[in-house]
Chain A
């Protein structure tokens, strides 16, 4: 008997019981959907992580207030001061760019257009260098802007688009916290990092920010080192330097890698969750297939007897029922691929920032798993069928 003949016989049996076959494949369907989503989500998450690392600059670390595991924009009472930034710059043995910022949320207004919830970031002129984030029009803040605490601003792309639909923002005055700021530049777009729009941000001189927000505290001190390899050593130095004046629990030094650990651990939890769903469904699906195959073998006892009388050998019967089980399971895998694809479209529609793309690898793996499950759980029923005594089987009713 050729493989094609076996496949044909199996297909006929599966098609003969459409509803039963479909229900039987359900477990494997869910299992392979979970596998595909699982892999695609972890790949998606690692893409996000890469994007974030690139967005922050790979040679960057930061000193943040508190020790919270929150994201970079978590606000907590800060004891960081400009003096810390100056001391890091002065005392570290690396050639670093130290760029402190003071962030606050505020509404920005121009004429009748207003944008609420904008990150107003007090920064130094070295910010573009530290963050690899430069203006595309006009200029960034100058040293004199800082010294004179001028009311000037460089706009993020989102803010500019919201307030100046025609794009002629340079030289105009926007209103922030009741004060007028002259627009001197527009920053390049950094896009979204998770759900935070990095371009919904304006930059004003740090000194001006400290005055209008009434604080001398800093939100972060960004430190750019020449080489990514220097980050651990430079971080240790920064920790020691800042630690001389404030308590260890009052600040933390983190590289983007550490910040992203949170993200990764979340994606790990997700992976584990989906992984166990996948595992359990495949197991249950496999048992379901085994069960239905045992039923099918019993139902078709006479057929087995007949086939043997017509010259079927034990391996012929074994392969017939095994390939039926594999076919069922493989069908489940294919349904799973379809379901996962639909799921990815839905997820991508619902959350455009988290584009879930189905990888070929995931699809391949899910199909291989479904075949493996069918084989594993199909062997026993097929073996039972193959071992049947033809005389008994023919007499069965």
Chain B
């Protein structure tokens, strides 16, 4: 569970104080799928950075799995990131010189994952995202959708409970975007908590709940009445 209470984040930008979040409170249940929407500058990215333990709040508390992380040391935050959180970025952030396999292997060194289980785990994850035939390919030999799949496999490496997705389909065509959404839905169905930042209403409707931000505060907490489904579920598939 993620619980945010009165979260405030201010920072200095060229001498001017920017109040990115101004007392945000939010609770995300385990296994939930929420979308965060709002115009640029509303505090979406700041929120995601705080949720990802890449930054610390100015005030307020942020609990992840019952632990208050708002005053943790950078080292403890790093450990938390490696174990509890998976990142999916708009620009994939794959290492260009490394193969799909090597990219998925990357998180293992920082989490101290048992070395004899790394290789099978990485291969299993690549299979999970449907890239068992692209294991040795480098990012520049893969399509955008495939690259994002590699990034998702990498985010899953240490089996985190929470997946933070920042515009995960922003750099993809609609077909690949939908495929990625299907993958995210599947992960959610299998128990991952998904927090996705997007400015596309259409994409946000794949979530069960949409949090609307404006100027650092939540202006609306919307439950999606009719969820979009991208995933073609095997049991729903007509023969």
Contact = CB atoms under 8 A, between A and B. Distances in A.
B128 interface: no
Given A12-B97, A302-B93, A394-B93, A310 B107 contact: yes
A19 interface: no
Interface in A115-174: none
A1 B82 CA distance: 12
Interface stretch (A31-39, A86-94, A101-109, A311-319): A311-319
Contact of A309 (B52, B109, B111): B52
B149 to A, nearest CB: 17
A312 B93 contact: no
A254 interface: no
B95 interface: yes
B106 interface: yes
B177 to A, nearest CB: 21
B218 to A, nearest CB: 22
A1 B110 contact: yes
Q: When A and B form their complex, which 9 residue pairs have the shortest distance between CB atoms, in order from nearest? A: A311-B82, A311-B110, A313-B78, A310-B107, A306-B93, A311-B81, A390-B54, A5-B109, A1-B109
A308 B78 contact: yes
Contacts of A391: 49, 54-55
Given A5-B109, A391-B49, A391-B55, A313 B74 contact: yes
Interface in B140-188: 154, 158
A308 B77 CA distance: 10
A236 to B, nearest CB: 74
A307 interface: yes
Interface size class of A (residues with CB under 8 A): 20 to 34
Interface string B41-55: 000000001001011
Which of B54, B78, B97 has the most CB atoms of chain A within a 10 A radius of its CB?
B78
Contacts of A1: 109-110, 112
Which of A1, A12, A302, A390 has the most CB atoms of chain B within a 10 A radius of its CB?
A390
B161 to A, nearest CB: 14
9 contacts: A306-B93, A308-B81, A309-B87, A309-B93, A310-B82, A310-B106, A311-B78, A313-B79, A391-B55
Interface in B92-151: 93, 95, 97-98, 106-107, 109-112
B12 interface: no
A230 to B, nearest CB: 71
Contact of A310 (B49, B55, B87, B112): B87
Interface in A2-43: 5, 9, 12, 16
Contacts of B97: 12, 16
Contacts of B93: 302, 305-306, 309, 394
Given A306-B95, A391-B49, A391-B54, A311 B107 contact: yes
A237 interface: no
A311 B75 contact: no
Contacts of B110: 1, 307, 310-313, 316
Which of A1, A12, A310, A314 has the most CB atoms of chain B within a 10 A radius of its CB?
A310
A370 to B, nearest CB: 26
A7 to B, nearest CB: 12
B33 interface: no
Contacts of B49: 391
Interface string A178-222: 000000000000000000000000000000000000000000000
B110 to A, nearest CB: 4
A312 B78 contact: yes
Contact of A311 (B55, B89, B111): B111
A59 B98 CA distance: 71
A308 B109 CA distance: 12
A391 B9 CA distance: 14
Nearest to A305: B93
Interface in A300-339: 302-303, 305-314, 316
B83 interface: yes
A394 B97 CA distance: 17
Contacts of A316: 109-110
A390 B74 CA distance: 11
B114 to A, nearest CB: 12
A303 B95 contact: yes
Contacts of A314: 74-75, 78
A12 B111 CA distance: 20
A310 B49 CA distance: 13
Contacts of A310: 81-82, 87, 106-107, 110, 154
